[in-house]
Amino acid sequence: MLSTIKRKLVAGCALLALLGFAILIGFNAYTHYQAAREATLKEARLIAEREAGTVQRSLEEAYYSTRALAQASLALRSQPSAEGRQRLSEVVRAQVAVHPQAVGYFVIWEANAFDGQDSQHTGPTGGRYGVYWYRKEGKTDVIYGTEGVDESPYYTEPKQQGRPVLTEPYVDSDIKILMGTVSFPMVADGRVLGVAGCDVALTALQGMAEKIKPYGLGLHVDLLAWRGGTRRVTFRSAGQTGPGSARRGARGHRS
């Protein structure tokens, strides 16, 4: 009888010990999993912050170069000449040459706002004046004209608001890359006469997504358009509230 009770007690103690050991193993495994997850999340966040900083620096360079382009364009307008349109085209082209991060630069005027002679000019630079110099597949090319600009956010928003604008990211229908447009209104005598702008490639955001994807942590990148001076690139984890899905506006053809 005592032997049977003793065997039962020993068996019970062994079972409890085994159960405790299993719980300890499970707890240690969970602790190690959490530590590994936190380390992976930290590394992914560092990648996001580094790449976001790259994008932000490109946007800031585009901001200041586009502001300078708008000022130069207004200066040319104030000094009318027969070669004014060609001179402005060369100014825009020069911006593309000295800013390799840019996809292209453009200057678009309201009707008769540049030289008052839209109907007098013929050929590619005739009519309402607009010029866009851009890169595509390693080459530089130019498009003249203003087709579709009055329905495009990169033109209508700075014109209506009278201040610089960064569009939502979109995929250009011609160049086929993710980009954003920095646009500056050209203002004289209190009136918006046109818009100068820079298209900036956002391929760094795509690259960041590829780098973070293997971690499976669902980090999202937000490119926050600026209104009145606010401009920044941020990132957030899955489930956090963002500014909404990007508006993929179609770029009007400037030809």
DSSP 17: H
Asked, for residue 158, whether it belongs to a domain, the answer is yes
Q: Comparing 70-74, 75-79, 173-177, 195-199, which segment has the lowest mean pLDDT? A: 173-177
Query: pLDDT grade, residue 138 (50/70/90)?
Result: confident
> What is the predicted pLDDT for the residue at 31?
65
CB–CB of 185/171 below 8 Å?
no
> β-pairing, 139-144 with 170-171?
unpaired
Distance, CA of 67 to CA of 73 (rounded, Å): 10
Confidence class of residue 250 from pLDDT cuts 50, 70 and 90?
very low
- Note every long-range contact of 213-222, with CB atoms under 8 Å and residues 24 or more positions apart, other chains counting: 215/40, 215/41, 215/43, 215/44, 217/40, 217/41, 217/44, 219/44, 219/45, 219/48, 221/48, 221/51, 221/52
Question: What confidence category does residue 48 fall into, taking pLDDT thresholds of 50, 70 and 90?
Answer: low
Residue pLDDT, tens place only, 17-35 = 455 455 555 555 556 556 6
Quick one: which of 85, 132, 135 has its CA closest to 255?
132
CB-based contacts of 114: which residues, under 8 Å, 6+ apart? Answer: 77, 84, 85, 88, 129, 193, 194
24 within a domain of the structure (yes/no): no
**Position with higher pLDDT, 175 vs 158:** 158
Where is pLDDT greater, at 226 or 116? 116
Q: What is the domain range of residue 148? A: 44-236
Does residue 6 belong to any structural domain of this protein? no
What token pair was written down for 63? 């901001």
- Report yes or no on 218 lying in a domain: yes
Residue 143 above 90 pLDDT?
Answer: yes
- CATH number at 170 reads 3.30.450.20
pLDDT recorded at residue 57: 79
Q: How many CA atoms lie within 13 A of 129 on its CB side?
A: 25
- The helix-helix angle for 2-77 and 203-212 (nearest 10°) equals 170
Categorize the per-residue pLDDT at 231 as very low, low, confident or very high, splitting at 50, 70 and 90: very low
Which whole number is the average pLDDT over 249-254? 35
- The answer to whether position 117 is within a domain reads yes
Distances (CA, A) of 237 to 29, 117, 220, 224, 240: 24, 54, 6, 16, 6
161-196: per-residue pLDDT in tens? 999 998 888 877 777 788 889 999 999 999 999 999
Q: What pLDDT shows up at residue 113?
A: 96
Structural domain contains residue 50: yes
Residues 77 and 91: beta-carbon distance below 8 Å:
no
More confident position, 61 or 209: 61
Number of structural domains the chain divides into: 1
Residue 17 lies in a domain: no
Task: State yes or no: pLDDT of 197 exceeds 90.
Answer: yes
* pLDDT for 155 beyond 90: yes
Residue with the two structure tokens 């900083």: 53
Q: What's residue 215's pLDDT? A: 47
Tokens describing residue 46: 């560092």
CA 198, 201, 204, 209 torsion: positive or negative? positive
Residue 241 lies in a domain: no
